[in-house]
Amino acid sequence: MGAAYSQDLRQRVLQALDDGMIKMKAHRTFQVSRSTIDDWLNLRATTGSVRVKASARRGPQPAISDLEAFARFAQRHNGTTLSRMAQAWRRETGQSLSINTFSLALKRLGWTHKKRASSIESETPPNEPASSTS
């Protein structure tokens, strides 16, 4: 299904019809199907307007609905993996969510996320101090 026609186009087509243009000429001029023009005329007759209807959200509600609070959480845990973010979220909120849920929430914020815990190993093992030359 394509995007709805703009409010401006709807009004121009109906204004042209009100000014005496026949439907077939409006169809050719504005490149809008005859059935769409009929729908707009019926809509205007019943509601008095041809406003674009707000589309209803499909599917389930997001598990993380408060994006502002999630953005603050993500800022505090910036640079961690999605797995660690999920663990921190569980500790802070008691809500257990999948890694995919965090990925989608970050995407809704327009953020990217780290793909792996570490891609480069440290040159110095964690239990050995760096050697010093004296």
Average pLDDT per 10 consecutive residues for the chain, totaling 134 residues = 82 94 94 93 89 77 85 86 89 89 86 60 56 53
**pTM recorded for the entire structure:** 0.44
Distances (CA, A) of 8 to 26, 93, 101: 15, 47, 38
In 3D, which of 42, 52, 62 has the Cα closest to residue 6?
A: 52
Task: Report the SS3 class of residue 7.
Answer: helix
Kindly list the domain boundaries of the chain, sorted by start residue: 7-47, 67-109
Q: What pLDDT does 9 receive? A: 93
pLDDT at 116: 59
With a CB cutoff of 8 Å and minimum separation 6, the contacts of 23 are 17, 34, 37, 38
Structure tokens at 101: 């849920």
DSSP string, 16-81: HHHTT--HHHHHHHHT--HHHHHHHHHHHHHHS--PPPPPPPPSPPPS---HHHHHHHHHHTTTSB
Q: Could you report how far apart the first and last alpha carbons of the chain are, in Å?
A: 74
SS3 126: coil
